Structure 1
Amino acid sequence: MGSPNMAAPVDQELKKAFADLQTKVLYTQQKVKLADLQIEQLNRTIKHANLTDGEIAALPGEARMYEGVGRMFILQPKVIIHNQLLEKQKIAEEKIKELEMIL
């Protein structure tokens, strides 16, 4: 008769461990989903910067180019715009690598 009383605490411990595991699984799934969304957005940023850089590459070197800053535009040399786009791509690629390491 002692074994039914002993089984109840073990069952409770198993239920608690299973509930904890379910919580961890849900948390991990949410984390993976968020990371996937961030990677998708970063890939769009890379593609946009690459396409923009390709378009400005076709322009003559002396073309007037403006950088959007808030609600205004600042005249910038083509090389500065090009370097900013390359930097934006590099930063996005580094963030993607960081996110992929987490997963």
Structure 2
Amino acid sequence: MSIPAEALQKLMQEIESRANFSQQQLQIVKAQMAGKQRDIRLLQLTSKELETLPKGTSVYEGVGKMFVMEAMPDVQKRIESEEKGLQGDIKDLEKKFTYLETTLQKSQEHINRILNPQAAS
């Protein structure tokens, strides 16, 4: 069975554009994951520093251009909830990364199959 040259070229362009899009999205997802991991590390370091402070120490949190005194347990809870949220975001990004990797791999396989039909048999 032979596919007309026009249809084959159109199919190749579509597969290549899908592969390029997947590659770009993979880079974006990698950067987002790295950013989230940096944020988690910063939260962990902040939490560790807060644990070293004596119990009665006043803790101030930046809000816009001012600082507001917060209770240390409240700050710790906020840090923990932010960290859990970021970890959830990373899990979602890992799923997206896996999907994009699979899409890219399948696109490359299809391109190879179109360019070299004897190898597919």
State the TM-score, normalizing by the size of structure 2.
0.76
How many residues in Structure 1 have an aligned counterpart in Structure 2?
Answer: 96
Higher relative contact order structure (alpha carbons within 8 Å, sequence separation ≥ 6): 2
Q: Quick check: 1:30 aligned with 2:45?
A: no
Structure 1 counterpart of 2:37: 43
Structure 2 counterpart of 1:62: 56
Alignment gaps of 5+ in structure 1 = 1-6
Query: Pairwise mapping of residues 8-23 of structure 1 onto structure 2 (< 5 A)?
Result: 10-23=4-17
Q: Which amino acid aligns with 2:11?
A: A
CA distance in 1, matches of 2:78, 2:55: 16
How far 1:30 moved relative to its partner? 0.9
Larger radius of gyration: 1
Alignment gaps of 5+ in structure 2 = 98-121
Q: Quick check: 1:80 aligned with 2:110?
A: no
Q: CA RMSD in A?
A: 1.2
Task: Give runs of ≥4 in structure 1 deviating > 2 Å.
Answer: none
State the percentage of identical aligned residues: 25
CA distance in 1, matches of 2:64, 2:84: 22
State the TM-score, normalizing by the size of structure 1.
0.89
CA distance in 1, matches of 2:62, 2:82: 14
Which of 45, 69, 91 is the matching residue for 2:85? 91
